[in-house]
Structure 1
């Protein structure tokens, strides 16, 4: 069964979102999880305006959010940041004045790791999230690691499967309607983010989602590695390992067989190292 209608609809969606993306003046600093080298966090701080800038940590993805917040606040302060705070909330109390005030004059926001669905449940539809997006639009930096990376795209992988209920052997096939996705924060509208990518062998799940959403390239970021996403829809790889991109925008014959296995011709792959720059408009490496 060919997935033509979804392809057409998604190309239209991407087309109308590019003007919105062009309005952003800020950067995204998206880390694939794992250890964070000191130089990586120093780069995040630099992009956010330096050690005298105001930073906010958002820990709700964690199963122990207060401990996660304390750890991240301490890490930033040990790197010399003087103005660091955190917002811990649920959807019901997110928009209290105290939380909104904490985002005043902030130029660096950081989403901690954990379960991305917990984070979206707490913040989607809130004024706090709107204000974080204002930070980004106005030239600030929004960063995140692991679950905090997954939330960056509009289509968000939850890490769950619909068909395969085996919690030990995850994502062992590439089938239609197996990978669960929900709404993410949408800082990136024209790609899908995955994390811990090479280390945890997550190729099957990202290929599945890309073939079901062929207008949107999939960006798999490995551990100890970040992408720095720029206002012009380019991003630079920064860190210790690599980033893998699957691009089905020009793929042919996207089909499923009688067993629901996905197939396609001309699915492109790019493997990028630190320092490489990729253009999401042209779908090409540009340096």
Structure 2
């Protein structure tokens, strides 16, 4: 399928301080990493109409939607985008209201905030709202952007539970269906700070056909054409490839017992490095590798 839209998935904890602080403008120098290297600015650059794009911030995953929505409006406004609105969808019946559907049909960008990814799939999954988003992503110059929960829910399979310290004990990681914007991957977020590599190892060894994507803080992936990935932001993206695993004791040990894995392949991407899902080829920025155009 020729995917016309773009995904921008972010690991969370972006380095922006708090836009609700009275002294934000005085401390803006502390936030230049966020603005200049990265992520919201790149969203605007990649969007259909740049700073004039119509952006809808979706706070469904958050338990403090009003505060989170206000922060994103101020952040986008600071970067020059003034056509930004917030949808506080908290129940399934709100996702089928005609005014909400009209707004999402007209959006150039949707930005899903952090929180609980199960709220996204349980409240939005299978609704007309969800179907409109999928259609726009597949057929229009449209951006699905998501941070933390919004990133985790973007793929066909989704991690929704599992403590990092017990991640390599059989059965500790819980996986369900995500929103399905991209297949054959599974995404974990807050990856470096919270030490979640074990979660991704178990997720991949249970289904080696999927590529595990671990997004560090203030780090994301831009995905074009459904396959071409570029690391953005200031941190690291970890890719876990299980296709070459030679052996595992996964089916031999009891629930709660440690898992052994032989020959898991790991790639580490930093800013502007690329990876093609269709060819499994990684390009390190600065090498003689053609970047995504």
TM-score range, shorter chain: 0.7 to 0.9
Are 2:268 and 1:271 aligned? yes
Alignment partner of 1:258 is 2:258? no
User: Shift in Å at residue 173 of structure 1?
Assistant: 4.4
Aligned partners of 1:25 and 1:32: how far apart in 2?
A: 23
Number of residues of Structure 1 aligned to a counterpart in Structure 2: 258
Would the aligned equivalents of 2:221 and 2:229 in 1 still touch at CA under 8 Å? yes
The 1-side partners of 2:167 and 2:95 are apart by 39
In structure 1, the residue matched to 2:172 is: 178
Task: Find the aligned partners of 2:136 and 2:59 in 1 and give their Cα distance.
Answer: 18
Q: Deviations over 1:137-189 (max 9, x none)?
A: 2121110111111111111111346xxxxxxxx43341332201111111111
Alignment partners' CA distance in 1, 2:4 and 2:179 = 17
- Residue equivalent to 1:5: none
Shift of 1:258: 3.4
Does the CA contact (< 8 Å) of 2:213 and 2:237 recur in 1?
A: yes
Residues of 1 paired with 2:161 and 2:253: CA distance? 25
Structure 1 residue 60: deviation in Å?
A: 0.8
Q: Distance in 1 between matches of 2:238 and 2:167?
A: 19
Question: Residues 60 and 118 of structure 1 are in contact (CA less than 8 Å); yes or no, is this contact kept in structure 2?
Answer: yes
Which residue number corresponds to residue 214 of structure 2?
220
What SS does the aligned partner of 1:28 have? strand
| Correspondence 1:23 to 2:24 | no
> Whole-Å Cα distance in 1 between the matches of residues 4 and 88 of structure 2?
26
Deviation at 1:135, TM superposition (A): 2.5
Distance 2:102 2:77 in 1: 21
Deviations 1:44-96 (A, max 9, x none): 01111201111111001111112212221222122211211122221122111
Q: 200-209 or 171-180: which moved more? A: 171-180
Q: Which runs of 4+ in 1 moved over 3 A?
A: 257-260
Deviation at 1:232, TM superposition (A): 4.8
Q: Which residue of 2 aligns with 1:107?
A: 108
Counterparts of residues 46-61 of structure 1 (less than 5 Å)? 46-49=45-48, 50-61=50-61
**Which digits, 9 at most, give the CA deviation of each residue in 1:181-216, with x for residues without a partner?**
111111111110111111110011110111001100
CA distance in 1: counterparts of 2:281 and 2:171, whole angstroms: 29
1:44 lines up with 2:43 in the alignment: yes
TM-score, normalised with respect to structure 2:
0.84
CA displacement at 1:104 relative to structure 2: 3.0
Give the deviation of 1:107 after TM superposition.
1.1
Q: For residues 61 and 184 of structure 2, what CA distance do their matches in structure 1 show?
A: 23
2:233 paired with 1:239 = yes
Aligned pair partner of 1:281 in 270, 278, 281 = 278
Q: 2:152 aligns with which of 142, 150, 153?
A: 150
Kept after mapping to 1: 8 A contact 2:12/2:148: yes
Alpha-carbon distance in structure 2 between the residues aligned to 1:23 and 1:213: 25
Task: Measure the CA separation in 2 of the matches of 1:160 and 1:65.
Answer: 24
User: Any stretches of 5+ residues in structure 1 without a counterpart?
Assistant: 1-21, 162-169
CA contact (8 A) 1:176 1:212 kept: no
Structure 2 spans left out of the alignment, 5+ residues: 16-33, 284-288
**Cα RMSD after superposing both structures:** 1.6
